[in-house]
Chains A and B, each alone.
Chain A
Amino acid sequence: MALIKRLYDWIDLRIGAREIVKKELTGYLLPRNINEWYSLGSVLLVIFALQVVTGMLLMVYYVPDAEKAFKSVTYIMNELPYGWLIRLCHAVGSNMMVAVLIMHMLSTLFMKSYKSPRELNWVTGFILFTLVQGISLTGYLLPWSQLSFWATTVATNSAAAIPVAGPYLVEFMRGSKLVGPPTLGRFFAMHVAVIPAVIAGLIGAHLFLLKRTGISTPPFGTKEPAATWSPESYRYESHPGGIPFFPNYALQDLTSISVYFAIFLAVVFFAPNLLFTPDAFVPANAFQTPAHIKPEWYFLANYQTLKIFPSELLGLSVQAAAMTFLALLPFIDRSPERNPMKRPVFLVCFVGGFLLWIGLSIWGHYS
């Protein structure tokens, strides 16, 4: 212990470590009525880190070549010591990341944490959501299985609905007329380099904004004095008399992360096939279309929406409008009231919208 203290003193003398700890951990005060939902951001950070680590390990053995990709994944899953664990953690982790991200967004929506002055926090978070969907989609092709090949064929083909530029856009995404080796090269580059870099940058921006605006006060539970914000000047939302981030809320973060790991590991070890169909283990064959290609669960609502509308362009436009509405919500919903119980119209829209999304997803699954 004495050695650790001496080391800490040595570091403190040079970089002022005690001051940082006081400011960012023990002296960083959070609202007294902060709840468990606020810890989902930390869970997401852990998931992202795990995805990066498992992704790097997979890259050691994965071969991004249409001739070798499937075999390399088969090798990782069957021959490489603990390769199955790394790959399953990566594949299950990508789905869990989307699920936790959706929960994080829903809780932000419900507690109205997107409202002024946190518009930029919401927008960066929303962009992160689309990028996580993008990284999942590009990663889906990499095993070069029947499932990944045909799901990508269907996904990239959707852009063809755009008037005039559509067919060119499809060819640009695929790198050829049909999904083939050039598509794998493009998707691999996007999956391992471009999108992760942008996601990392945006996570940094999201955290920076969080630090600059301060943590929002939940609209229910023990009431703190209502935070007022004057648009004429910048103000950090502090919480005098609040609970310290360390150790109090850090322990909540660790509790949530442990619960997440329990669920995540249960899927990895006991139900990994929840996320794979048998076509995921058959090598891609451009001449044999599997009978029922369905997108991943988080795209099922989009998939079903397009089936409802008679025209593809109309279906795409409706989805784009819905996504745009959600992205711009902080600029549309300007009411200062943050308690959902005092906003019945919002509550009905929130619950109705969520149930509609679930309903469309279930319909898409069984259609």
Chain B
Amino acid sequence: MTYLRQLRRSSLRPALGALSLAVLAALAAPQPTHAAAEAPAETVCIQCHGSLPDRLGAPVKLWRTSIHSENGISCNACHGGDPKDAADAMNRSRGFLGAPKEPDIPAFCGRCHPGVLKDYLASAHGRALGKGGPTCVTCHGNHAVLKASLDLINEKSCTRCHSFERARIIKEAMQQTEGHIVGIDRKIKDYQAQGVDTERLGKSLFAVRNRFHTLFHEVNVTKVKAESNDINTELGKLDRDLKVVDEARAKRKVAGACAVAGALVLALLFHLMKKSYD
């Protein structure tokens, strides 16, 4: 009993130290709390309209599926207003623009996409603006804005206004390039997710993709074919850059295999040596 008492007394200090550390360790563990609460709040537009029914709430649901939402572009980026003040969110003195009238739509979107606006206005579609021709939202949608891709050129959409014949020829001419761009984009994203610095490659692809997208509003088949060839040459350079990364990573794997094999051989060797001493 005396021993137990002595032991209890002597063990009190390390016990208290361990207790404090244990509490600290438990506190240091990441907890699933408040991450969302600390994130910047959604704009008041989303907060208010998101809970409204029917016509007033529908844009929010559509927007959530859009490329704008994906890129963090909220309502105020297009419609103006104060996204932090519910009372003045739709106050014109705070820059609120509301919804544009149909002929104003290209200029409305063109504030952020000036290059595309220029291409559009120069195209047959743009020249028909105000005369029954399509605006940006006719093909790209308004709140559920779709990412520019060849999928937007489809029979269902184009035949709302004209035959699909010429559109199909243009789409076919661009298909291969689109596939090439998508493939390179996927590869760059894969590498980025593995820690490869893809900034330069990403920027180059962005420039090539933009150049390619200028053709989306072009209806001159010969020009589309010639431009597509040039763009494919540019994409070939990116392919070569990616191949360099591929080769470097393959070399690393060979070196890794040698290192792992070396370690295993050493392990076996040490084990056998130990056995000889047993």
Contact = CB atoms under 8 A, between A and B. Distances in A.
Interface of A: 74, 77-79, 84, 116, 119-120, 123, 126-127, 129-130, 133-134, 137, 150-151, 153-155, 157-162, 178, 231-232, 247-248, 251-252, 254-255, 258-259, 261-262, 265-266, 268-270, 272-273, 276, 278, 280-281, 286-289, 293, 295-296, 299, 302-303, 306-307, 312, 315-316, 319-320, 322-324, 326-328, 331
Contacts of B253: 269-270
A323 B22 contact: yes
Interface in B42-64: none
B87 interface: no
Contacts of A273: 193-195
Contact of B263 (A248, A261, A312): A261
A252 B274 CA distance: 7
Contacts of B260: 262, 265-266, 269
A251 B256 contact: no
A255 B14 contact: no
Interface stretch (B33-41, B109-117, B162-170): B33-41
Contacts of A276: 194-195
Contacts of A232: 3
A323 B266 contact: no
The 4 A-B pairs with the shortest beta carbon distances in the complex, nearest first, are A269-B256, A158-B31, A295-B30, A302-B29
Interface residues of B, number: 53
Interface in B1-18: 3, 6-8, 11, 14-15, 17-18
A164 B21 CA distance: 20
B17 A127 contact: yes
Nearest to A316: B26
A231 B14 CA distance: 17
B28 A133 contact: yes
A288 B72 CA distance: 8
B264 interface: yes
Given A153-B35, A326-B22, A258 B278 contact: no
B255 interface: yes
Interface string B195-207: 1110000000000
Contact of B14 (A120, A160, A286, A316): A120
